[in-house]
Amino acid sequence: MISDRVKRNLTRTFRESMLPKLGLVLLVVIVVMAMFAPILATHDPTRTGYFHEEGGPYPPPGFEYTTTVASDGEIGDVEVTSTSEHLLGTNTVGQDVYSRFLYGARVSLLVSLFGVSLALLMGVPFGLVAGYYGGRIDDGLMRLADVMLAFPALVLALALIGVFGSQPIQVPDPIVLAGVADGMPESIPIPGSVTVVVALVTWVWFARVARGEALSIRNEEYVKAAKSFGTADWRILLKHVLPNSLTPIIVLATIQMAIIILIEASLAYLGFTGTTLSWGYEIETGQDVLRTRPWVAMVPGIGIVLAVISVNLLGDWFRDALDPNIEGSERGA
């Protein structure tokens, strides 16, 4: 488990550097955004048609633009101004950008949390068993890993989406269901197959790290002792090998979370997730109007960067404190 030495290292590195503190603050902000999106949001993020009376979306402060309108047979330029009603303006179909920014955090975090959990469940048991027993299972795992790694993560994810299609899952919103936030959607769609796909492309990293740990732990004295008492293998794996491999697995999970956020955003940007409530998708819709309505693409990107930075900073902190050499921790989307 997490030993005292590890705890001391964590506190020491946290005190010594600004970066873990920044990461923690950012993560808290993102998590609060995601959890309390229905309360913090000013509009239903899926409702369309919030357009300026002169036509066209509302700009955020600082992005006022002029548009040409014809009235009473006269053609003239009209200044389209920002409104306090829509803090960050509205997008091309007239949805509130600020509200969608908040809900985007929810989608991003849900996909990465589910994705990492699934990858852990797939990779860790496989890796532990392979490393502990060695032999054929181990050879098989290592060869499979070689094959998996020959695919770029994003390319494999795209191919898998081609197979599974993109099935959204409706995730109910407890806050709205409790009646606290009126007028917000009772459930939001998250890209279900994407969650499975990101796990399928990242599990092998967990398997490799777990295998490496099991391989060294199986020769430890306490494992040999347990064996000599006749303890069953599954018990040794659960009681000794798993707890002692946790540290590097936690570090890897943090870093893979950042990677999964980026993969989800990329898939959504390419239009392969089947859902439209996503930072990545929002950027795609902003691309066509980049010149005239730049905020549509700008705002959601800031969300992605903040979320990924926060997770990366925590990952760096854990890695510096726990283990500087974890394989697979320097691999991007």
Partner 1 sequence: MSMLKFLLRRTLQGVFVIWGVVTVLFGLRAVSPGDPASLMLGQGATQELVERVREVEGLNEPIYVQYADYLGSLVRGDLGYSWRSEREVEMMVLERVPATIELAVAATVIALLIAVPLGVVSATRRGTASDYGATLFSLLGISTPNFWLGLMLILVLGVWYGIPYPSLSGSGSVPIGVGFVDLPTGRRAVGFGEALMAIVQEGSFGEMGLWLKHITLPAITLGTYFTALITRLTRSGMIDEFGKPYVTATQSKGLPGVLVRYKHVLRNTMIPIITVLGLQMGTLMGGAVITETVFNWPGLGLRLIDALGVRDWPLMQGIILFIAIMFVTINIVVDALYTYLDPQVSVE
What does the binding site for partner 1 look like in residue numbers (CB under 8 A)? 19, 143-144, 146-147, 149-156, 158-163, 165, 258, 262, 265-266, 269-270, 272, 280, 283, 286-287, 290-291, 294, 297-298, 301, 304-305, 308-309, 312-313, 324, 330-333
17 to 28, 190, 202, 310, 313: CA distances (angstroms): 18, 36, 30, 15, 11
Distance in Å, CB of 280 to partner 1, minimum: 7
How near is the Cβ of 130 to partner 1 at its closest, in Å? 17
101 vs 176: CA distance, rounded Å: 18
Q: Buried (b) or exposed (e) across 49-73, using 16+ Cβ within 10 A? A: ebebeeebbbbbeebebeeeeeeee
Question: Which residue, 75 or 147, is less far from partner 1 as judged by CB?
Answer: 147
Smallest distance, partner 1 to C-beta of residue 5, A: 20
Q: How far is the CB of 198 from partner 1 (least distance, A)?
A: 13
Smallest distance, partner 1 to C-beta of residue 299, A: 11
User: Would you say 78 or 154 has its CB closer to partner 1?
Assistant: 154
Kindly give the pairing relationship between strand 65-71 and strand 74-80.
antiparallel
**Minimum distance from residue 196 beta carbon to partner 1 (Å):** 14
| Nearer CB in complex with partner 1: 153/194 | 153
Nearer to partner 1 (CB atom), residue 217 or residue 265: 265
What are the residues facing 90 on neighbouring strands? 96
Q: Cβ 13 to partner 1, closest distance in Å?
A: 14
Among residues 168 and 301, whose Cβ is nearest to partner 1? 301
Instruction: Please report which helix (H) or strand (E) contains residue 42, including its range.
Output: none
CA dihedral (196, 202, 204, 210) positive or negative: negative
The torsion of the CA quartet 123, 124, 127, 133, rounded to 10 degrees, works out to: -140
Closer CB to partner 1, residue 136 or residue 291?
291
Q: How far is the CB of 234 from partner 1 (least distance, A)?
A: 30
63 phi, psi to nearest 5 deg: -120, 25
Are 292 and 65 contacting, i.e. CB atoms less than 8 angstroms apart? yes
Report the residue number, 220 or 327, with the smaller CB distance to partner 1: 327
According to the 3-state scheme, what is the secondary structure of 257-312?
A: HHHHHHHHHHHHHCCCCCCCCCHHHHHHHHHCCCCCCCHHHHHHHHHHHHHHHHHH
Looking at beta carbons only, is 49 or 165 nearer to partner 1?
Answer: 165
Q: Which of 86, 87, 77, 74 is nearest to 54 (CA)?
A: 77
Closest CA to 112 of 328, 331, 262, 251: 262
DSSP-assigned letters across all residues of 76-124: EEEEEPPBTTBTT-B-TT--BHHHHHHHHHHHHHHHHHHHHHHHHHHHH
Of 50 and 103, which has the nearer Cβ to partner 1?
Answer: 103
Cα–Cα distance, 295 to 299 (Å, whole number):
6
CB of 72 to partner 1, least distance (A): 34
